[in-house]
Structure 1
Amino acid sequence: MKKLILALVLLPTLVFAQHKISGTFSPAKQFKAALLYKLEPAKTVYINNTTIVDGRFEMLLDASVKPGMYRIVYALPQDQYNFDFIYNNEDVVFDFNANKGMSFQASKENILLNNYKHEMYVVKGKINTLYSDKDIDKAEYTACIKELKEIQEKAEQASKDMLAYDFIKASRTYTPNTFEDAATYFNNYKTHYFNPIDFSNPVLQRSGFLMDAAIKYIYTFVDNGRKNTSYKNNIDDVVRITSKEKAIQKSILESLWNQFKNKNNEEVTNYIASQHLQKLLDPVKDEILLSDMKAFQNTAMGATAPDFSWPSKMGSTKLSELSGKDFYIVTFWSSTCSHCLAELPVLKTYLSNKKNIQVLAVGLEDERENWEKTIVDYPDFTQIYGYNKWDNPIPIAYGISSTPSFFVLDKDKKIVAKPNDVTALTAYLDSQK
């Protein structure tokens, strides 16, 4: 009976046992709220949120919160303003500085992992410095290699039975046994880069480690004389290494597609899509991404601009049917867009004495009335009413996500420029004189 009573007393403690995640953010005035997510393969799961008061916050976690990798989001956009950490049934206390980054005050796992990363970073920096010298001090080089091995072995031993062990083991870097010149070291480092990384490891899959490792590989081993070829070869390597883990592979490729798209690197962006990513996508679940990829491919430099039609005095007119001009400017704007209303008058003035250019202004609108009032000021533009705004088929075909957007077409309707603003647009047109 005594044992039963003891069990009943302890049960609530076990069920409601709590650990906490707490910390400070500085500068305090910049931070208002913190959102907690658990990382899962190819997704994040929302857990909790709290306000940040005077730079401080605290979250209590009950026993239902499982060990794993977690993410704190502290601003928008979420994929930019966040940091990851391990939670393994212990309090996690940290200080986060917007300029200096992260430091942990409590949590054996996170302190151990961060110290390991810092120590490895310092030693690798020494090795890189040695390679930059014409006459390498081979004794110092040997000492650095020895230190590299010792840090790795010590960290692996200290992290046994911890989640941190999986990350430390997977971070084991290539270490030569004897002196190697820079070219040999670099080639061997690349050859052995993925050796310690197990893409099927569930701990690593429930983190950002695999994504970060793959992206680092793609951007590190690049021949500056032929960057795009290097990028594509490295992407092929990542696809080969992740061939048995399609969900992870898809996440990596999708992230890379967005990164190269944002860099305006059309060659690599379209290579990722056509050679690898499209075949991994579901026509229903990934409909939006497929549409975006198609639009990006169809609006690449040198491509014939996607055709579209609009009501006219002739009944209906198509872009492809226009003739007689040297250039056609397709611009997407809105009567409720302040940047558009600032840039369109500049374009109007610039084109006032140019008869060889036609502007097709596609107004992305929710309501027609305001659009009709605004277009009165632009009688020389071909005005096209884009009903349903972003859901209109014309901006979808062009992959438009913001206004104003500009496309310059030559007389054959091939895309020759995609300037970011009206200043870049007029500069391009001036360069064609």
Structure 2
Amino acid sequence: MKKLLAFIFLISSFAQAQYTINGTMAPILESDWVILYKIEGASQKYVQDSKIKINTIDVQGKKQKIGTFSFTLPKDTEAGSYRVTYKLENAGYVDFIFNKENLNFGFHPDYPEQTVTFSISKENILYRKYLEKISNAQQQLDSIQITALQNPSLDLKSAYQTSLNKVNSIQNEYLTNSKDMYVAPFIKANSRNNPSEILDNPQTYMSNIIDTFFYDVDFTNKTLLNSSFLIDKITDYIFYINYSDDPNTQQILFKNSVDKVIYKFKNIPYKKSIIEFLIDQFETTMNLELIDYLFENHYYKLPKTIQDQKYITSKRALFATGIGRVAPDFSWIENGKNFKLSTLNDSEKYVLVFWSTTCSHCLNEVPKLHSFLKENKAVEVIAFALEDDEFGWKNYKTNLPNWHHVLGLKKWQNKIARTYNINATPTYFILDKDKKIIAKPESLEDVKTFINKQ
């Protein structure tokens, strides 16, 4: 009997020593798995994965398929911000807080942020209610302020004060209710520093938003550092709040806002992660000026011991041939003469094409390129052949007269090919007379289109 009671107690203790995270997505996507990550700084750490189970339920007389999944976490699982990712392309995810409690939540997979609801989890239920209430109240306050700016003759001072009091009341209520909870720093940091009185011009209004955007954000708080909160806040500040229609002004705003954000971080490893995050963000629009700015003014000023040399090398290689860059230089011997890309001066434009005699696609396109440019005296071609040996190339290049021909041995491992990040042939670059890259056409048709427009 004692052994039986001890066994029951052991099973009971084991059950209580675990936490479960249960999720439901409706409708179901064509996805088999969900992955659980812990957010750490600007990156995420794999925790578990779980297979999605498909169930059918009745919704107002119609059958609907839903997906359910579950994770079991041991008792020593760290409190923190976690993320469930459920599709890799156009990544869909739900973020939540785990603090030693079970969670149940549901969401629409196409609109996770707008639809997620928690049925179990004191922390997440309180935080979602707070976000809903404060968002609605703040929107009402902003609406009054904007209406006043658009219609200065209206007397909205009283309405503004009433709305401001409501915002402050909600903020204070949830600061009190979240005391000693994991979610408390998020609620405090989410507070807006609204003016005590209605503002009378747009410039003052925008200046107030920009100047006070991080007013209640503690950049040393580990809870905030290890969450998506700061990343979202930084993204909003740099890419949405500091905005101009003028491209030159926008670049200045980017630099100023980047500086302001990065200087706020004292945690060096996190600062490194933020700089890398911002470099990746500017990479999506190939904003080379800002990428260079981030490297020169921030990344290279990090301690040498923390700089990631592989990251630097890979990014520099990737951006070396971006539009607007001067094409990386190289030299070759042609008919006994020494040539160098940077010193060519026989044309207004150049087409640099990386190709190979072992590439069937090249053997189809390259002769067509030759025919297309045969009579065009304003465009010169540098044909860089990636080969294992010179024999096939030596014979074939005679079919392409009046071009500059360069032999690149070791094919894909050729040093120049690696500098230009060549992973497929043919690959085209169009250069101006100063050898600045002005276009990177995807195909021969794109080359023709660009040349014809000039």
Measured against the shorter chain, the TM-score band is: 0.7 to 0.9
Q: Is the 8 A contact 1:214 1:252 kept in 2?
A: no
> Is 1:64 aligned to residue 59 of structure 2?
no
Tell me the residue number matched to 2:373.
351
Q: CA RMSD in A?
A: 3.7
Tell me the residue number matched to 2:256.
233
Whole-angstrom distance in 2 between the partners of 1:400 and 1:329? 15
Tell me the residue number matched to 1:256.
278
TM-aligned CA distance change 1:175 to 1:294, over 3 Å: same
**Match of 2:251, as an amino acid?**
N
Whole-angstrom distance in 2 between the partners of 1:352 and 1:216? 51
More off after superposition, 275-284 vs 204-213: 275-284
Tell me the residue number matched to 1:118.
132
Q: Is the 8 A contact 1:278 1:290 kept in 2?
A: no
Tell me the residue number matched to 1:98.
109
Superposition pairs of residues 152-163 of structure 1, within 5 angstroms? 152-163=171-182
**Match of 2:229, as an amino acid?**
F
Deviation at 1:122, TM superposition (A): 2.4
Q: Is the 8 A contact 1:25 1:31 kept in 2?
A: no
> Is 1:203 aligned to residue 216 of structure 2?
no
Deviation at 1:407, TM superposition (A): 2.3
Whole-angstrom distance in 1 between the partners of 2:131 and 2:427? 43
- The sequence identity of aligned pairs, in percent, is 32
Tell me the residue number matched to 2:236.
216
Whole-angstrom distance in 2 between the partners of 1:140 and 1:294? 54
Q: Is the 8 A contact 2:123 2:181 kept in 1?
A: yes
Tell me the residue number matched to 2:121.
107
**Match of 1:168, as an amino acid?**
I
> Is 1:411 aligned to residue 425 of structure 2?
no
TM-score by length of 2: 0.79
Q: Map Cα deviations across residues 359-414 of structure 1 (whole Å, 9 max, x no partner).
A: 4455678x789x97xx889846746547363x543244235577765321123323
Whole-angstrom distance in 2 between the partners of 1:116 and 1:267? 40
Q: Is the 8 A contact 1:283 1:290 kept in 2?
A: no
TM-aligned CA distance change 1:300 to 1:37, over 3 Å: closer
Whole-angstrom distance in 2 between the partners of 1:64 and 1:310? 63
**Match of 2:347, as an amino acid?**
K
Partner SS for 2:110: coil
Whole-angstrom distance in 2 between the partners of 1:338 and 1:155? 66
Q: Which one of the candidate residues 322, 326, 351 is aligned to 1:304?
A: 326
More off after superposition, 392-401 vs 378-387: 378-387
Tell me the residue number matched to 1:18.
18
Tell me the residue number matched to 1:429.
451
**Match of 2:72, as an amino acid?**
L
> Is 1:130 aligned to residue 144 of structure 2?
yes
Partner SS for 2:87: coil
TM-aligned CA distance change 1:164 to 1:283, over 3 Å: closer
- How many residue pairs match? The answer is 423
Deviation at 1:420, TM superposition (A): 5.3
Q: Is the 8 A contact 1:148 1:175 kept in 2?
A: no
Partner SS for 2:29: helix
Whole-angstrom distance in 2 between the partners of 1:7 and 1:201? 43
Whole-angstrom distance in 2 between the partners of 1:363 and 1:273? 33
More off after superposition, 194-203 vs 377-386: 377-386
Whole-angstrom distance in 2 between the partners of 1:57 and 1:338? 48
Q: Which one of the candidate residues 163, 170, 185 is aligned to 1:166?
A: 185
TM-aligned CA distance change 1:188 to 1:323, over 3 Å: closer
More off after superposition, 157-166 vs 404-413: 404-413
Whole-angstrom distance in 1 between the partners of 2:97 and 2:358? 45
> Is 1:286 aligned to residue 308 of structure 2?
yes
Whole-angstrom distance in 1 between the partners of 2:268 and 2:32? 37
Q: Map Cα deviations across residues 66-88 of structure 1 (whole Å, 9 max, x no partner).
A: 2111122222259x443321111
Q: Is the 8 A contact 2:29 2:109 kept in 1?
A: no
Deviation at 1:262, TM superposition (A): 1.7
Q: Map Cα deviations across residues 113-141 of structure 1 (whole Å, 9 max, x no partner).
A: 22222333323333333344322533332
TM-aligned CA distance change 1:191 to 1:28, over 3 Å: same
Deviation at 1:45, TM superposition (A): 2.2
Partner SS for 1:163: coil
Larger radius of gyration: 2
Whole-angstrom distance in 2 between the partners of 1:340 and 1:128? 59
Deviation at 1:228, TM superposition (A): 0.9
Tell me the residue number matched to 2:62.
none
Q: Is the 8 A contact 1:159 1:165 kept in 2?
A: yes
Unaligned runs of 5+ in 2: 55-66
Whole-angstrom distance in 1 between the partners of 2:356 and 2:125? 51
